[in-house]
Amino acid sequence: MEINEKTLMRDVFINFLREKMTSDPRVVVIDADLAKCAGTLALEKEFPDRALNVGIAEANMTGIAAGLATYGYIPFITSFAPFASRRIADQAMISVCYAKQNVKIVGTDPGIAAELNGGTHMPFEDVAIYRAIPDILIYEPTDAVEFAAALPQIFDYPKPVYIRMHRKNPPLVHEPGARFDLMKADVLKEGGDITFVATGLMVKTALDAAARLEDEGISAEVICCPVCKPLDTQTLVTSFRKTGCALTLENHNVNGGLGSAVAEAAAENCPVPMYRIGVREKFGEVGKADYLRKVYSLETSDAVAAAKRVLAVKN
Amino acid sequence: MDAEIIRLKELAKNIRANIVEAIASIGVGHIGGCLSIADVLAVLYGKHMRYDPENPKMAGRDRLICSKGHAGPAVYSALAEVGFFPKEELKTLNKGGTRLPSHCDMNKTPGVDMTAGSLGQGLSAAVGAAIGSKLSKDGATIYAIIGDGESQEGQIWEAAMYAGSHHIDNLIVFTDYNKMQLDGTTAEINDLEPLTDKWRAFNFEVWNIPGNDVEAIDKAVTEAKAVSGKPKMIVLNTVKGKGVSFVEAAKVGSHSMSVSESDRERALKEIEGGC
């Protein structure tokens, strides 16, 4: 499909599933009464045998997926991210990952993207939950271009994957047709003074902050890191050795998310002064994304100020 | 009594002896809930299930998911008895590096079809396997054994509702209704009654039978396989620890208990003498 600024992530997702379900009889899609939201409802009509809806029963959805996987099917299960993580933490851990079943778990509307659904639906902990589970890859798409390139690689990855999917159209940071390697972090902009490591919605924020700092003579390297497990430590450490300090940016709790992963990698390989932009000891709340960015200090200005503090420590 | 029933009873006896040998070799284990399902395992592996010990992953095989995963030693005892691995290996139960862990693990044990142990999850996986069987048109029957205490888990009923409403009729589920759980009797902790009514209300065809009677189990499974359009529940009214007097006498205490060398000898004698 042709991708532009208006392309919705969920349309990329549905388009991929439709193609795969057509060409590969192993693909199964399971929803738990949010198929209208994820866009997968259309597939239930097109593939009535292989697009199931179990109703509001996420644990059962996960177990059924695991059972289908034991039969060689490759299930994609979808719900809002809080329910595709904390609600099914034990089923994802035992029936999927511990049992080594190849299930792809899709959690939509991560963090502040939950907007008007508010605190009950606003997961800042989903990545932390999955980071604690062995053998599952965690992928947070940056934009529609990257997501379209990532999905075939995720499909071919023979182990469980958690996809933290924004349903709408976050700004494009990749050129249409850009190449993408699921196992590699992407250096979007080179710089020498500080390394930004960002994921999801915060990649654009990192680029905007880097542009502002550039005007002040500060050169930030911006690394887009959509996969925080397994982490591309090599790319990060190479950059830390060059810049000597780091700032992470995520639409997630700083405890257990990308910031934690990067801090751990830095501490073990190349300790540098750093700060983690992200949600700190707060629950979600209702509001539009712009308001929520203020509440959780996720604005470009927050990143600029934090970068300067980190640079002061370095110097 | 016809020859087949005598054969199945003999198999159940051997499974019980294997359970005692396995658990005695490490000195402690979930012996009560293992002994209570020896008879249904004998009927399934001795007669109804299609499988190949030489090819445990054989396409089109019938599958058993023991959702009460702590009954792993019972499942291993049956698998060893029908040739999936040597009976001698049962003595590695729960020892470091074993292929026979306390709770069922499909990646470790030949013949185990699903990993289980975090209670409530195996029935959903069985529903998934039953759907997989229908999609792949392999004609398999998917069997699941759930615990009575396990039936207090909400996920059991999520799976039941879906199986019933979607007429998943290649699924035969057993409840090991020994009426005891770790902390007490099911009646005093969180009563399941009326249990058969619950399963009927979830659109299952239900049998309510003496759960340690191989003849009754065989008859119920035969009937269940012939019913189409509905999933099936066979409530096995079992005795926890069945076949070994001191385990039966321990009642709730038999959920996990010590089995010494002298216990082992006494138990094997009783099993050998029983029928």
Q: Are A248 and A141 part of one and the same domain?
A: no
Distance, in Å, from the CA atom of B15 to the CA atom of B198, rounded to the nearest integer, reads 31
Q: For residues B114 and B104, is the Cβ–Cβ distance under 8 A?
A: yes
Residue B46: CATH number of its domain:
3.40.50.970
**Nearest chain A Cα distance for residue B225, angstroms:** 21
Contact B132 A59 (CB under 8 A): no
Q: Are A127 and A233 part of one and the same domain?
A: no
| Run of H or E including A29 | strand A27-31
| Run of H or E including B158 | helix B154-165
Kindly state the average pLDDT of the residues A45-57.
Answer: 97
**Which residues between 33 and 92 in chain A have a beta carbon less than 8 angstroms from any beta carbon of chain B?**
49-50, 52, 54-55, 57, 59-60, 62-73, 90-91
Task: For chain B, give the mean pLDDT.
Answer: 97
> What b/e string do you get for B184-196 counting C-beta neighbours within 10 Å, with b at 16 or more?
ebbeeeeebeebb
- Among B124, B156, B165, the residue to mutate for chain A (most A Cβ within 10 A): B124
Helix or strand or coil: residue A275? strand
Q: Are A229 and A160 part of one and the same domain?
A: no
Name the residue among A71, A93, A99 with its Cβ closest to that of B106: A99
Interface check for A157 against chain B (CB to CB < 8 A): the answer is no
Q: Are A266 and A210 part of one and the same domain?
A: yes
Q: Are A115 and A192 part of one and the same domain?
A: no
Q: Are A195 and A158 part of one and the same domain?
A: no
Contacts of A92 in chain B (CB under 8 A): none
Residue A174 covered by a domain: no
Name the residue among B107, B113, B159 with its Cβ closest to that of A63: B159
| Run of H or E including B185 | strand B184-185
Peptide bond into A230 cis (omega under 30): yes
Give the nearest chain B residue to A71 (CA atoms). Answer: B132
pLDDT in tens, B129-175: 999 999 999 999 999 999 999 999 999 999 999 999 999 999 999 99
Distance, in Å, from the CA atom of B248 to the CA atom of B34, rounded to the nearest integer, reads 12
Distance, in Å, from the CA atom of A79 to the CA atom of A124, rounded to the nearest integer, reads 15
Q: Are A202 and A301 part of one and the same domain?
A: yes
Contacts of A144 (CB under 8 A, 6+ apart): A3, A7, A8, A9, A11, A12, A169, A172
- What pLDDT score does A194 carry? 98
Structure tokens at A20: 């795969």
**Conformation bin of residue B167: beta by default, left when phi > 0, alpha when psi is -120 to 50:** left
- What pLDDT score does A13 carry? 97
pLDDT in tens, B51-61: 999 999 999 99
Q: Are A270 and A303 part of one and the same domain?
A: yes
Name the residue among B132, B133, B162 with its Cβ closest to that of A60: B162
- What pLDDT score does B274 carry? 74
Contact A55 B154 (CB under 8 A): no
pLDDT in tens, B97-127: 999 999 999 999 999 999 999 999 999 999 9
pTM as predicted? 0.97
Name the residue among B107, B114, B128 with its Cβ closest to that of A65: B128
- What pLDDT score does B71 carry? 98
- What pLDDT score does A202 carry? 98
Contact A71 B135 (CB under 8 A): yes
Contact B128 A63 (CB under 8 A): yes
Structure tokens at B110: 């030949």
Domain boundary among A130, A165, A200: A165
Residue A53 covered by a domain: yes
Name the residue among B124, B132, B135 with its Cβ closest to that of A63: B124
Nearest to B114 by CA among B143, B85, B153, B84: B143
- Among A54, A71, A87, the residue to mutate for chain B (most B Cβ within 10 A): A71
Contacts of A63 in chain B (CB under 8 A): 121-125, 127-128, 155, 159
Residues facing residue B174 across a β-bridge:
B145, B234
Residue A29: CATH number of its domain:
3.40.50.970
Number of domains in chain B: 1
pLDDT in tens, A257-293: 999 999 999 999 999 999 999 999 999 999 999 999 9
Residue A241 covered by a domain: yes
Confidence of residue B187 (pLDDT cuts 50, 70, 90): very high
Res. A2: pLDDT tops 60: yes
Interface check for A24 against chain B (CB to CB < 8 A): the answer is no
Q: Are A154 and A235 part of one and the same domain?
A: no
Q: Are A109 and A208 part of one and the same domain?
A: no
- What pLDDT score does A239 carry? 98
- What pLDDT score does A266 carry? 98
Residue A176 covered by a domain: no
Distance, in Å, from the CA atom of A163 to the CA atom of A172, rounded to the nearest integer, reads 18
Q: Are A160 and A226 part of one and the same domain?
A: no
- What pLDDT score does B263 carry? 97
Kindly state the average pLDDT of the residues A72-93.
Answer: 98
pLDDT in tens, B13-47: 999 999 999 999 999 999 999 999 999 999 999 99
Tokens 């207090």 sit on residue: B152
Confidence of residue A177 (pLDDT cuts 50, 70, 90): confident
Distance, in Å, from the CA atom of B195 to the CA atom of B148, rounded to the nearest integer, reads 9
Q: Are A28 and A160 part of one and the same domain?
A: yes
Phi first, then psi, for residue B183 (nearest 5°) are -90, -5
pLDDT in tens, B217-273: 999 999 999 999 999 999 999 999 999 999 999 999 999 999 999 999 999 999 998
Helix or strand or coil: residue A282? coil
Q: For residues A111 and A121, is the Cβ–Cβ distance under 8 A?
A: no
Contact A66 B124 (CB under 8 A): yes
- What pLDDT score does B150 carry? 98
Res. B6: pLDDT tops 90: yes
Number of domains in chain A: 2
Confidence of residue A97 (pLDDT cuts 50, 70, 90): very high
What is the percent of chain B with per-residue pLDDT over 70, rounded to a whole number?
A: 100
Q: For residues B76 and B26, is the Cβ–Cβ distance under 8 A?
A: no
- What pLDDT score does B273 carry? 87
- What pLDDT score does A87 carry? 98
Which residue segment(s) compose the domain that B228 sits in? 3-273
- Among A28, A52, A70, A87, the residue to mutate for chain B (most B Cβ within 10 A): A70
Res. B275: pLDDT tops 70: no
Domain boundary among A119, A135, A165: A165
Residue A179 covered by a domain: no
Phi first, then psi, for residue A250 (nearest 5°) are -150, 150
Confidence of residue A151 (pLDDT cuts 50, 70, 90): very high
- Our measurement of the distance from residue A48's CA atom to the centroid of its chain's CA atoms, rounded to an integer in Å, reads 29
Q: For residues B209 and B235, is the Cβ–Cβ distance under 8 A?
A: yes
Residue A175 covered by a domain: no
Which residue segment(s) compose the domain that A282 sits in? 186-314
Count chain A–chain B contacts defined by CB atoms under 8 A.
103
Res. A101: pLDDT tops 90: yes
Nearest to A294 by CA among A275, A276, A272, A279: A279
Residue A310: CATH number of its domain:
3.40.50.920
Nearest to B202 by CA among B164, B150, B233: B164
Give the nearest chain A residue to B64 (CA atoms). Answer: A67
Residue A291 covered by a domain: yes
Contact B128 A72 (CB under 8 A): no
User: Parallel, antiparallel, or unpaired: how do β-strands B180-181 and B184-185 relate?
Assistant: antiparallel
What is the DSSP track for B245-264? Answer: HHHHHHGGGGSSEE--HHHH
